[in-house]
Structure 1
Amino acid sequence: MLALYRFASRWPLWLLHALGAGLGWLTWAASPTYRRRIRENAAQAGYGFGQVRACVAHAGRMALEMPRLWFGAPVPLQWLQHQDVLDAAYASGRGIVFMTPHMGCFEITAQVVGAHYAARFGPMTVLYRPARQPLLRDVVEQARRREGVDTAPTTLAGVRQMIRALRAGRAVGLLPDQVPPQGQGVWSPVFGRPAYTMTLAARLIQQTGATPLLAWGERLPHAQGFRLHLRTFPEALSDDLETAVAQINGALESLIRERPGQYLWGYGRYKTPRSEAA
């Protein structure tokens, strides 16, 4: 599997994105459950399928661009908007919690921030869930070993690693809309419907005083590369945990509405959380 990923990493981005778009639509055609979930999740947010149909191709592009992003040559990139905000956040020494929804390209933010800021402020630590499939586990573990980026598994040890990084004034990144195991979240509204939501992002900010920032990597048309978007958090985060989680969900909703066609509407955001033993 690793050899296959390394082989695909040499392909041009336009080819990976073209094949990925086809894969996305093939998956959509083959799975009634996937089609239904996209329509239902989009409708919950007030969108018809025609307004979000681009998400089908983007999901496939996301899957096939990974070999290039993990093992290949650098891709074209438009630098961060509001870079002064990021400079100020690092200069404060309080640490930074980057929060990204399941939208666009997840990998770009960590790679770029790590490459440009690690020399001065230390590596960025990214939370990830180890692959369950043995064939993919080695691929993911090797791919995550990038200069300027550390990884933290979704375990207690990983959480402690992130807290240490924040207290040292470094940055961490995670996807707060990832459904956590039972016992690690609270039910909180997402587009008006209760969804089981992780509390980790809010806890990290509350416990360390870190600066919360919203970030996502827009996938540009015609395989022109990616554009990084950066936003300050719109309001002070509450000391009450459930209120803080709801604030984070609301901030992510605003990001998603900027480019609804690049959000993964097929993600099971409203699913019942799995048990920790599962």
Structure 2
Amino acid sequence: MLLLFRLLARMPLPILHAMGALAGWLTYLGSPTYRERFRANVAAAGLPWAACRPAIAAAGCMITETPWLWLRPPAERLGALVRWEGTEFVEAARAQGRGVLFLTPHLGCFEITAQAYAERYCSTDSPITVLYRPARKDWLKRVVDDSRGRPGLATAPASLAGVRQMIRALRQGQTIGLLPDQVPPDGLGVWAPFFGKPAYTMTLAARLVQQTGAVLLLIWGERLPGGQGFAVHVMPAPELPPAEAGAEAAATVINGAMESMIRNAPGQYLWGYHRYKSPRGLDIGAAPVSDAGAQR
């Protein structure tokens, strides 16, 4: 499998995306469970099927572009493959001297957002830190660890130690990135509406803002047609309610922001993601994160 990853990493992006589009359709047609969940999530969102149908191919593109993103030599810059929209929001946030927290849903190429930001704005001494769940397979763990440790890019494991790492980074005026539409372990989230249905939603994003005073921004990486590259879009986030309003109120606001982003580009969202599943047991090697515990 590692050899296949290395072979794919050497292919041009247009070929990878063409292969991915085919793989996406083969997966959709060959898996009744995946197909049913995909269509059910689209129906729950109330969006036209025609607008969401391109996401079948986009899901495959995400898979085939991953080796290129992970195994590309660190010295090989993205350069003209990435164009930016909304850099004024980034620069205004950074000028305040506070930490910056980016939120992105499973929309487009979320891996590219951190790499592009690191290349444009970060250094080894002041990186962007992204939260990730360590891979279980040894060969994949090595690939992930090597690929995400790029210049200006740091990773924080999904554990209590990782949360502390992110809090330190924000308090030092650095940047972190989260995907708030993934289902957290039991005890680390609340039930909040997402496209009109209850979805178990992480509370971490709101707590990080409340504890550190970080600037909250929205970001997503649009996958351009024909393997031309990516467009990174940055937008201001809605204001979160005060902490005393409760975790559910903040989670509802964040879910609403994710919905707005997805509605603008439904053809690049991972509709096959099992967003409405019940949370798994806590398996990150730590007790549920409390506000007090996270600050120790």
Query: TM-score scaled by structure 2?
Result: 0.90
2:272 corresponds to which letter in structure 1?
G
What residue is the counterpart of 2:287 in the other structure? none
Alignment of 1:103-252 (within 5 A): 103-119=107-123, 122-239=126-243, 240=245, 241-252=247-258
Gaps of at least 5 residues in structure 1 are none
Q: Secondary structure at the match of 1:125?
A: strand
What residue is the counterpart of 1:254 in the other structure? 260
1:277 Cα deviation from its structure 2 partner: 4.0
Deviations 1:175-214 (A, max 9, x none): 0001001111000000110000011111111110100100
Deviations 1:50-101 (A, max 9, x none): 3311111000000000111122244543432121210111121110110000
2:228 corresponds to which letter in structure 1?
Q
2:224 corresponds to which letter in structure 1?
L
Q: Distance in 1 between matches of 2:124 and 2:53?
A: 42
Gaps of at least 5 residues in structure 2 are 285-296
What residue is the counterpart of 1:274 in the other structure? 280
1:120 Cα deviation from its structure 2 partner: 9.4
Q: Secondary structure at the match of 2:47?
A: coil
Q: Distance in 1 between matches of 2:251 and 2:14?
A: 38
Q: Distance in 1 between matches of 2:282 and 2:123?
A: 37
Deviates more, 1:119-128 or 1:164-173: 119-128
Q: Distance in 2 between matches of 1:103 and 1:82?
A: 17
What residue is the counterpart of 2:30 in the other structure? 30
2:162 corresponds to which letter in structure 1?
G
Q: Secondary structure at the match of 2:122?
A: helix
Deviations 1:107-131 (A, max 9, x none): 1111111112113971000000111
Q: Secondary structure at the match of 1:126?
A: strand
Q: Secondary structure at the match of 1:275?
A: coil
Q: Distance in 2 between matches of 1:120 and 1:10?
A: 26
Q: Secondary structure at the match of 1:197?
A: strand
Say what the alpha-carbon RMSD is for the aligned residues.
1.6
Deviates more, 1:110-119 or 1:215-224: 110-119
1:247 corresponds to which letter in structure 2?
V
State percent identity of aligned pairs. Answer: 56
Deviates more, 1:68-77 or 1:110-119: 68-77
Q: Distance in 2 between matches of 1:16 and 1:74?
A: 18
2:126 corresponds to which letter in structure 1?
G
Deviations 1:102-158 (A, max 9, x none): 000011111111112113971000000111223311111111110010000000000
Which runs of at least 4 in structure 1 moved beyond 6 Å after TM superposition?
A: none
Q: Distance in 1 between matches of 2:170 and 2:205?
A: 12
Query: TM-score scaled by structure 1?
Result: 0.96
Q: Distance in 2 between matches of 1:113 and 1:20?
A: 25
2:156 corresponds to which letter in structure 1?
A
Q: Does 1:67 align with 2:73?
A: no
1:232 Cα deviation from its structure 2 partner: 0.4
Q: How many residues align?
A: 278
Q: Secondary structure at the match of 2:85?
A: coil
Q: Distance in 2 between matches of 1:120 and 1:132?
A: 27
